[in-house]
């Protein structure tokens, strides 16, 4: 006998949690199915991080069973099959209750108006079926829901992105380093634009909020906030459960069943003991992030859906996007005192839009409070000083302090255009539950390479204005890292032949199926995707409430 | 042996209030390393002789310990442990940590006027100002 619900939400990350919260508050019977697990407790996760040999984004969350039954990628060659990629897809995600918001940085800029109309404005990419104006009220709701600290005046009308409400919390203060860098580059212009440093809006408390403390500068936002001053989606999972939503962890959805009337009501899932179960819902919401969501749709092929569920267009899995990133490093003239406060508190937004987007990528830059990041960690610096230079005692302490306190980096995050050959399909390889692993094809564009080169030049201009030493910027336009911003694989659009969901995140092919999260983004822009995904999720919840009520 | 290890550790790290429990844990960890851990007693003895000799301590540490083929690597392990709570591989790419408690007590972070990542550095916004420590 299957369980019957009003709504089944597949995936307990930020999008699924917000929808489950909204719908359970509206007294709907909600089931949340999450492939990963809830536990262990935060303090144990922090302990895992502290003792991990490699302090990666996954380091708190590695678990023998979790990694077997609901594997999450750690590196680009792990879990994904990428044999046809000319360039590797480098981003990862976390499958557990709360999803990738456990390890996210927590930066929440909004998209800007032109991000929604790239085709019309710049002749590249596609237009969204909604505008910034359509989404603006939902941005406000999302900022209040997850708790965002920001500078309302400073960000008002950034490239036309007006704000109708202030942030719920005032900004996270700029770091000592930000202030020193801003002083050093005052008046710096590049391509006729003033290189201005702006405060970064963050889902990180600057005052007590939702019963969570304010940021105390633990500096490990990635991979885990020990005190939950940084938002993670367990907040809204807990709220949803308080309103009666039922969460089943360790439940991996394997198939969606399409009925005669082309509705999707039945969901088949496997628990970690390999037992199969089913549940039915009047409305099904897929919120499994942008790799697992298309994977599930493709796995659900049937006579009624020969290309996979919601895939009459053939677009499911295609248009895979990330933000391709890199960093430059330099040694400042005076100490900047990194490794205090959040890893970044300020950024440079001036290159996020402009005529150049006809031919090269826009980018957003972040000023680091984390030294030289992975280029040279304090462990690397210490190792060199001790092993290679033979230092010890007072001299070691002095040299270590002198070097590490002056390490500074800037990172840049570039936009990828949607391309139908960048895609997720099903691999022949299976995981421990017999489910296909994702197969990814990815290829880099000159659009990105030109963007990288411009970013390097801007960084050099900044480091030069700072009169910094040991300036180092990348030189290979084929090298990049992933941002963990996985987007595009179930995109939104007006035309059912070229998109998977409509403007309200409803699948064109199945009236009662909704897909939410960053997989619905038609373009990736330069903003971290979570706030936009949250805004769309809240908007979709509103649509679902009206649809199910009517 | 523990007091000798603490005295040696102080000289190698320039830190003069080292925790006894941590010292015992690090003594055991370093004694267990291959291939140089077996020389720990000799290392401590050499350091005691340096202390008693009355000459420049750092110069003698440099000459008699750091440049020694067995004692040098062992002394460096001790520095790494106190500074990071971890022991590096030969190429420095892989670090083996001990307990979470040791991780949070690592000295490197105070040396660079910060805090172990994961521990709070203080009140909200303290990162706006130059450090107190």
Q: What are the phi and psi torsion angles at A139 (to 5°)?
A: -60, -45
Q: What percent of chain B has pLDDT over 70?
A: 100
Predicted local distance difference test score (pLDDT) of residue A249: 98
The answer to whether the Cβ–Cβ distance between B84 and A382 falls below 8 Å is: yes
Which of A218, A337, A397 comes nearest B111 by C-beta? A397
Asked if pLDDT for residue A362 goes beyond 60, the answer is yes
CA distance A85 to A480: 14
Predicted local distance difference test score (pLDDT) of residue A77: 76
Predicted local distance difference test score (pLDDT) of residue A393: 97
Asked if pLDDT for residue A550 goes beyond 60, the answer is no
pTM for this entry: 0.97
CA distance A185 to A468: 11
Predicted local distance difference test score (pLDDT) of residue A75: 83
A103 catalytically annotated: no
Average of pLDDT values for A360-386?
97
**Residue pLDDT, tens place only, A121-168:** 999 999 999 999 999 999 999 999 999 999 999 999 999 999 999 999
Overall residue count recorded for chain A in this entry: 550
Predicted local distance difference test score (pLDDT) of residue A2: 56
Distance from CA of A108 to the nearest CA of B (A): 19
Chain B residue numbers with beta carbons less than 8 Å from the beta carbon of A227 are: 120
Which of A224, A340, A394 comes nearest B127 by C-beta? A340
Antiparallel, parallel or unpaired: β A30-33 and A246-248: parallel
CB atoms within 10 A of CB A550: 5
Query: What's the gap between Cα A95 and its chain centre?
Result: 13
Chain B residue numbers with beta carbons less than 8 Å from the beta carbon of A226 are: 118-119
Asked if pLDDT for residue A394 goes beyond 70, the answer is yes
**Residue pLDDT, tens place only, A503-521:** 999 999 999 999 999 999 9
B107: nearest CA partner in chain A = A397
What residues of chain A, 13 to 52, have a C-beta less than 8 Å from chain B? 46-47, 49-52
Average of pLDDT values for B78-85?
98
Collapsing DSSP states into helix, strand and coil, what is residue A325? strand
**Residue pLDDT, tens place only, A441-471:** 999 999 999 999 999 999 999 999 999 999 9
**Residue pLDDT, tens place only, B28-37:** 999 999 899 9
What are the residue ranges of helices labelled H in A156-277? 176-184, 234-242
What residues of chain A, 232 to 261, have a C-beta less than 8 Å from chain B? none
**Residue pLDDT, tens place only, A1-23:** 458 999 999 999 999 999 999 99
Exactly one of A289, A441, A485, A510 is catalytic; which is it? Answer: A485
B86: nearest CA partner in chain A = A53
Distance from CA of A507 to the nearest CA of B (A): 42
**Residue pLDDT, tens place only, A161-170:** 999 999 999 9
Chain A residue numbers with beta carbons less than 8 Å from the beta carbon of B12 are: 392-393
Answer for the pair A418, A321: CB distance below 8 angstroms, yes or no: yes
Residue A264 tokens, joined = 């999707």
**Chain A to chain B, count of Cβ pairs less than 8 Å apart?**
154
Distance from CA of B99 to the nearest CA of A (A): 6
Supply the mean pLDDT for chain B.
Answer: 95
Average of pLDDT values for B32-54?
93
Chain B residue numbers with beta carbons less than 8 Å from the beta carbon of A218 are: 117-121
**Residue pLDDT, tens place only, A62-116:** 999 999 999 999 887 788 999 888 899 999 999 999 999 999 999 999 999 999 9
Residue B33 tokens, joined = 């390393």
Q: What percent of chain A has pLDDT over 90?
A: 97
Predicted local distance difference test score (pLDDT) of residue A84: 86
What residues of chain A, 316 to 375, have a C-beta less than 8 Å from chain B? 335, 337-342, 345, 369
Angstrom CA distances, A405 to A338, A507, B92, B107, B122, stand at 6, 52, 21, 15, 18
CA distance A116 to A521: 9
Band of the pLDDT at B132, cuts 50, 70, 90? confident
Which residue, A52, A91, A197, A54, is CA-closest to A481? Answer: A91
Residue B17 tokens, joined = 């209030």
Asked if pLDDT for residue A386 goes beyond 90, the answer is yes
């Amino acid at each position: 006998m299957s369980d019957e619900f009003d709504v089944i939400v597949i995936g307990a990350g930020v999008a699924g949690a917000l929808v489950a919260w909204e719908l359970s508050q509206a007294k709907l019977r909600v089931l949340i199915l999450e492939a990963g697990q809830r536990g262990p407790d935060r303090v144990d996760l922090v302990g895992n991080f502290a003792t991990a040999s490699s302090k990666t984004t996954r380091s708190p969350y590695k678990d023998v069973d979790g990694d077997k039954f609901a594997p999450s990628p750690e590196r680009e060659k792990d879990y994904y099959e990428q044999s046809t990629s000319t360039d590797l897809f480098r981003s990862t995600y976390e499958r557990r209750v709360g999803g990738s918001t456990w390890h996210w940085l927590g930066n929440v800029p909004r998209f800007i108006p032109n991000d929604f109309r790239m085709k019309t404005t710049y002749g590249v990419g596609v237009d969204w079926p909604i505008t910034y104006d359509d989404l603006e009220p939902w941005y406000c709701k999302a900022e209040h829901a997850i708790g965002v600290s920001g500078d309302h005046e400073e960000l008002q009308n950034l490239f036309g992105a007006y704000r109708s409400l202030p942030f719920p919390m005032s900004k996270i203060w700029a770091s000592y380093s930000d202030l020193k860098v801003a002083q050093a580059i005052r008046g710096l212009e590049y391509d006729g634009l003033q290189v201005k440093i702006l405060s970064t809006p963050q889902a990180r408390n600057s005052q007590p909020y939702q019963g969570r403390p304010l940021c105390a500068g633990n500096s490990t936002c990635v991979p885990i906030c020990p005190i939950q001053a940084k938002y993670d989606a367990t907040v809204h999972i807990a709220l949803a459960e308080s309103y009666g939503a039922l969460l089943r962890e360790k439940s991996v959805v394997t198939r969606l069943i399409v009925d005669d009337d082309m509705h999707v009501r039945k969901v088949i899932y496997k628990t970690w003991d390999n037992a199969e179960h089913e549940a039915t819902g009047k409305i099904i919401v897929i919120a499994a992030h942008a790799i697992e969501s298309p994977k599930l749709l493709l796995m659900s092929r049937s006579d009624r859906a020969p290309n996979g569920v919601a895939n009459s267009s053939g677009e499911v899995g295609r248009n895979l996007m990330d933000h391709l990133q890199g960093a430059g490093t330099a040694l400042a003239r005076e100490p900047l005192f990194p490794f205090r406060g959040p890893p970044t508190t300020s950024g440079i937004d001036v290159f996020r839009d402009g005529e150049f987007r006809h031919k090269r990528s826009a980018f957003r830059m972040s000023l680091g409070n984390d030294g030289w990041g992975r280029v040279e960690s304090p462990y690397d610096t210490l190792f060199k000083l001790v092993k290679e230079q033979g230092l010890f005692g007072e001299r070691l302490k002095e040299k270590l302090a002198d070097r590490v306190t002056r390490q500074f980096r800037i990172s840049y995050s570039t936009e990828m255009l949607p391309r139908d050959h960048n895609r997720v399909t099903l691999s022949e390889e299976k995981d421990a539950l017999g489910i296909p692993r994702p197969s990814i094809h990815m290829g880099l564009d000159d659009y990105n390479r030109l963007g990288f080169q411009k970013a390097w030049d801007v960084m050099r201009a900044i480091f030069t204005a700072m009169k910094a030493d040991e300036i180092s910027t990348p030189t290979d336009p084929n090298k990049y890292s992933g941002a963990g911003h996985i987007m595009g694989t179930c995109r939104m659009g007006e035309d059912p032949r070229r998109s998977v969901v409509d403007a309200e995140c409803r699948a064109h092919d199945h009236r009662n199926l909704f897909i939410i999260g960053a997989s619905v983004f038609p373009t990736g822009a330069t903003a971290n995707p979570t706030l936009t995904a949250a805004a769309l999720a809240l908007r979709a919840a509103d649509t679902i409430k009206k649809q199910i009520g009517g | 042996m523990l007091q000798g290890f603490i005295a040696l550790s102080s000289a190698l790290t320039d830190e003069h209030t080292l925790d006894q429990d941590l010292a015992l844990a690090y003594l055991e960890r370093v004694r267990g390393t291959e291939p140089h851990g077996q020389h720990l007693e000799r290392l401590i003895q050499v350091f005691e002789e340096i202390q008693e000799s009355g000459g420049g301590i750092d110069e003698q540490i440099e000459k008699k310990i750091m440049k020694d083929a067995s004692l040098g690597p062992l002394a460096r392990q001790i520095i790494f442990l106190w500074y990071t709570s971890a022991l590096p591989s030969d190429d420095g790419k892989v670090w083996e940590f001990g307990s979470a408690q040791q991780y949070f007590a690592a000295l490197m972070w105070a040396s660079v006027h910060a805090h172990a990542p994961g521990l709070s550095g203080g009140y909200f916004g303290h990162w706006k100002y130059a450090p107190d420590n």
